[in-house]
């Protein structure tokens, strides 16, 4: 039995290491085309050669870039494998999860010590299953931690465990939770916040008047009325507990949905970066195989550098004073990485578009009789990507380097709206304490 157990433990450990390495591959996928492009250009400009026994030795730049990109990707993924687990992929979120998990364990201990019905045992068992799942899940590795979807799922699982304990926790804890949620809903953007506040008020009034045996000293907020103005009446303690549980579930679902939106935006941006880099690498390989003039490659790289620098400078300037109070699961870093890549490629494309539109052969079209006297000829790429003939291209590249930031700024505004929604569901410490 011990040998079997040891073999199973070894297999699980190996699987965990494999999952971490796969996570490292995903995390560093965008680096492979970057390194491949860099090495390809360097080899092409330096006119490097390869021995005849190497396959495709007649295309040394293509071979060097491809091999360098793959080897660097494997090496970097090995380094980043240590960050492919729940504890290291996002230490802030994992640390907070552990704190809340400890609190859940303490509440479970109190739950088991309380004498109650069979239903209370069922509620404790459900919360315990969530706790056990999280304790095991937070020791695993995998892609879900790199793309942050694992954290969203873990938070949802933790919230379900906390919510079910509303059914069995002490009345003092229940009232404290009600106060906490009332403050979170005040001036928030949660769907149907007014109705949820009315439900809290009705539950609190019932607990005071029928369970605690104390009169309410002052009217509770919204007087416990629903959206249609009718008074909400709660008749049993079970109903009051279920009501407060549903309110907490609505708040948690709202917040989890906003964080999920941030994570989805971040993952879509990362995938877009990888796909665009692969496309750019493919076009570069076509240029290299087609024996593009060295001066054209040099000009394209100059335009790329100009656009990337302008775009990155604009992005860094926008980061000054940015709100970092809410976790964004590396969305800001993804935007920072994407900006110079998108801006540089936009600069290369923009130079060609402007150079084609305003070339001497097409400018005659806008002159009187130009279309009849001068045939239209679209300039070749090597005529546009030539710094000696088209030095104005650097200015055009700088202008187009700002274009992608407009798209990324729209993504940032969406993420900022999600963050603002999350912040407004935090308890307002400066607001007056509602009467319990």
How does residue 115 score in pLDDT terms, banded at 50, 70 and 90?
Answer: very low
| Separation in Å, CA 38 to CA 32, 46, 99, 214, 316 | 10, 12, 44, 75, 24
Model pLDDT for residues 237-285, shown as the tens digit of each residue:
889 999 999 999 999 999 999 999 999 999 999 999 999 999 999 999 9
How does residue 367 score in pLDDT terms, banded at 50, 70 and 90?
Answer: very low
Q: Are 346 and 352 in contact (CB under 8 A)?
A: no
Round to whole Å and give the CA distance between 158 and 31.
Answer: 35
Round to whole Å and give the CA distance between 305 and 373.
Answer: 39
Contacts of 123 (CB under 8 A, 6+ apart): 111, 164, 165, 167, 168
Residue 349: both structure tokens together: 């494309």
Q: What is the pLDDT of residue 44?
A: 93
Q: Are 201 and 164 in contact (CB under 8 A)?
A: no
Beta bridge partners of 141: 85
How does residue 383 score in pLDDT terms, banded at 50, 70 and 90?
Answer: confident
How does residue 57 score in pLDDT terms, banded at 50, 70 and 90?
Answer: confident
Round to whole Å and give the CA distance between 110 and 228.
Answer: 39
- The position carrying tokens 């239209």 is 376
Write the DSSP symbol of residue 426.
S
Question: Which of 61-70, 386-395, 418-427 has the largest mean confidence?
Answer: 61-70
Model pLDDT for residues 200-240, shown as the tens digit of each residue:
999 998 888 776 554 443 444 444 555 555 567 888 888 99
Round to whole Å and give the CA distance between 17 and 297.
Answer: 42
Q: What is the pLDDT of residue 201?
A: 92
Lowest mean pLDDT among 94-103, 206-215, 348-357, 382-391: 206-215
Of residues 23, 13, 41, the one with CA closest to residue 292: 41
**Residues of 86-111 as b/e, b for ≥16 C-beta within 10 angstroms?**
bbebbeebbeebeebbeebeebbeeb
Q: What is the pLDDT of residue 319?
A: 73
How many CB atoms are located within 10 Å of the residue 187 CB?
A: 11
What's the sign of the alpha-carbon dihedral 225, 226, 230, 234?
negative
Whether residue 95 is predicted with pLDDT greater than 80 in this model: the reply is yes
Q: What is the pLDDT of residue 213?
A: 52
């Amino acid at each position: 039995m011990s040998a079997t157990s040891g073999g199973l433990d070894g297999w699980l450990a190996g699987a965990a290491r494999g999952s971490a390495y796969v996570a490292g591959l995903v995390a560093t996928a965008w680096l492979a085309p970057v390194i491949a492009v860099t090495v390809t250009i360097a080899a092409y400009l330096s006119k490097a050669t390869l021995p005849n026994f190497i396959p495709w030795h007649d295309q040394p730049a293509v071979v060097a870039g491809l091999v360098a990109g793959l080897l660097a990707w494997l090496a970097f993924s090995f380094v980043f494998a240590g960050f492919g687990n729940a504890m290291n992929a996002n230490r802030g979120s994992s640390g907070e999860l552990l704190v809340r998990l400890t609190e859940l364990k303490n509440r479970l201990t109190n739950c088991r010590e309380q004498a109650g019905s069979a239903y209370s045992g069922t509620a404790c068992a459900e919360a315990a299953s969530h706790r056990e799942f999280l304790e095991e899940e937070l020791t695993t590795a995998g892609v879900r931690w790199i793309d942050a979807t694992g954290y969203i799922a873990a938070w949802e699982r933790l919230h379900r465990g906390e919510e079910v304990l509303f059914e069995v926790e002490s009345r003092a804890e229940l009232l404290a939770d009600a106060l906490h949620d009332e403050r979170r809903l005040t001036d928030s953007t949660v769907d149907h916040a007014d109705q949820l506040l009315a439900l809290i008020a009705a539950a609190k009034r019932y607990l005071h008047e029928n369970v605690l045996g104390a009169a309410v000293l002052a009217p509770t907020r919204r007087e416990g009325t629903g959206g249609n103005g009718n008074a909400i009446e709660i008749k049993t303690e079970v109903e009051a507990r279920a009501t407060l549980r549903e309110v907490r579930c609505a708040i948690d679902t709202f917040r989890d949905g906003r964080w999920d939106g941030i994570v989805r935006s971040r993952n879509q941006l990362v995938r877009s970066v990888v796909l665009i880099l692969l496309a750019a690498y493919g076009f570069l390989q076509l240029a290299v195989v087609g024996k593009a003039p060295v001066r054209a490659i040099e000009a394209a790289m100059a335009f790329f550098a100009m656009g990337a620098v302008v775009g990155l400078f604009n992005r860094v300037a926008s980061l000054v004073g940015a709100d970092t109070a809410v976790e964004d699961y590396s969305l800001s870093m993804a935007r920072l990485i994407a900006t110079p890549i998108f801006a540089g490629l936009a600069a290369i494309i923009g130079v060609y578009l402007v150079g084609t539109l305003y070339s001497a052969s097409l400018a005659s079209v806008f002159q009187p009789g130009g279309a009849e006297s001068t045939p239209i000829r679209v300039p070749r790429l090597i005529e546009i990507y030539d710094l000696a003939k088209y030095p104005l291209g650097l200015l055009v590249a700088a202008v187009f380097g700002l274009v992608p930031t407009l798209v990324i700024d729209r993504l940032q505004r969406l993420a900022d709206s999600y963050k603002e929604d999350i912040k407004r569901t935090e308890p307002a410490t400066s607001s007056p304490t509602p009467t319990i």
